[in-house]
Amino acid sequence: MRNLDNTRRNSFDFHKLIVESKKTTRIDPDYKTRLLALEDEVEALYNTYQINFDRNILETTIPNAYPDNNKGDLLKLYNYKSKLIQNLRTEITTTNTRRIINTCQNCTLSEINSFDHILPKEEFCEFVVNPLNLFPSCTICNSYKSQFWQENGRRLYLNLYLDRLPDSQYLFVDIEYNNNTFGLRFYLENRFGIDENLFDLIESHYSRLHLLERFSRNSDKVITPLQNKIKPFMNLLPMEEIITMTIQTANLNRNVFGMNYWESILELTLINNEDFIQSLRD
């Protein structure tokens, strides 16, 4: 899990590009005219969004409560497969080293195949194509999130544009080895003094997206490749050297994919586990 940057463009200019891209049809020849009639009001709402975004207080944003006809017009602006939206996805997920991140950073498990509307589009139709309200996501995370994004004025999920992830480890895993099978339990713990409000938000995010259980279900994609990567070298190198190299590789991956990248956390725990080392010798 890592932060992404989405501050390279003017948000309302993007809204206007989307509106301009809409074609006039015989079925609804006045669609674009109706959108243009809303433009000044929507621009003012975008300005408010920008202020709240800059202060990281999006949970204070009040929906404009458009009537159904205006709401329907605004919602039709969003089409994940449209060229402008796909270009936005590429822009957001391209790193400074020109590497494209294609894994959902809400979970670091599944492929990006949607945009998460940080303020839900059904409630905040005015921000349906606001780039600062669109986060590249997988449909699994999107389905878990649904429309429930805050509770009693507090956000329930990390906003990875705004919430700076800590440099300290908070994700851990316990391992039990019985009958040639590894039992895993991922858990969160604030061992290193992370701000309590941020840690509470991290716990909520992981819990509501069922990340700990999803990590466990996907653990064999880490365990078996790690075993297969190590075994060919066991007759060539001392085990201590293999362990050192494995730790170094896992930490390099944490630098790229995040301090609490679940695959690296699992690899580090495995390589320091006596039962795992013995399983390599059996």
Q: Could you tell me if 161 and 135 are in contact, meaning their C-beta atoms sit under 8 angstroms apart? A: yes
User: 16 with 137, same domain?
Assistant: yes
User: 186 with 101, same domain?
Assistant: no
pTM confidence score: 0.89
User: 139 with 175, same domain?
Assistant: no
C-alpha distances out from residue 225 to 27, 172, 221, 228, 280, Å: 55, 20, 7, 5, 12
User: 136 with 177, same domain?
Assistant: no
Asked, for residue 6, whether it belongs to a domain, the answer is no
Q: So what's the pLDDT on residue 193? A: 94
**In terms of residue numbers, what domain contains 47?**
11-146
Tokens standing for 6? 């989405």
Tokens standing for 199? 């840690």
Q: How many domains does the chain have?
A: 2
User: 20 with 140, same domain?
Assistant: yes
**Kind and range of the H or E run holding 21:** helix 11-21
| Residue 267: closest CA among 217, 210, 227, 212 | 227
User: 15 with 139, same domain?
Assistant: yes
C-alpha distances out from residue 137 to 14, 25, 44, 105, Å: 20, 32, 27, 7
Along the 282 residues of the chain, how does pLDDT read in single tens digits? 888 988 778 999 999 999 999 888 888 899 999 999 999 999 999 999 999 999 999 999 999 999 999 999 999 999 999 999 999 999 999 887 888 889 999 999 999 999 999 999 999 999 999 999 999 999 999 999 877 888 888 899 999 999 999 999 999 999 987 777 778 899 999 999 999 999 999 999 999 999 999 999 999 999 999 999 998 888 888 999 999 999 999 999 999 899 999 999 999 999 999 888 888 887
Q: So what's the pLDDT on residue 275? A: 85
Asked, for residue 2, whether it belongs to a domain, the answer is no
Q: Could you tell me if 46 and 12 are in contact, meaning their C-beta atoms sit under 8 angstroms apart? A: yes
Q: Could you tell me if 75 and 96 are in contact, meaning their C-beta atoms sit under 8 angstroms apart? A: no
Helices (H) and strands (E) in the chain, counts: 12, 6
Q: So what's the pLDDT on residue 113? A: 94
Q: So what's the pLDDT on residue 234? A: 86
Domain boundary (112, 146, 180) is at: 146
User: 47 with 140, same domain?
Assistant: yes
| Residue 58: closest CA among 12, 131, 119, 10 | 119
Question: SS3 of 109, please?
Answer: coil
CA atoms 186, 266, 199, 122: torsion sign: negative
User: 202 with 134, same domain?
Assistant: no
User: 119 with 200, same domain?
Assistant: no
Q: So what's the pLDDT on residue 108? A: 95
Q: So what's the pLDDT on residue 145? A: 87
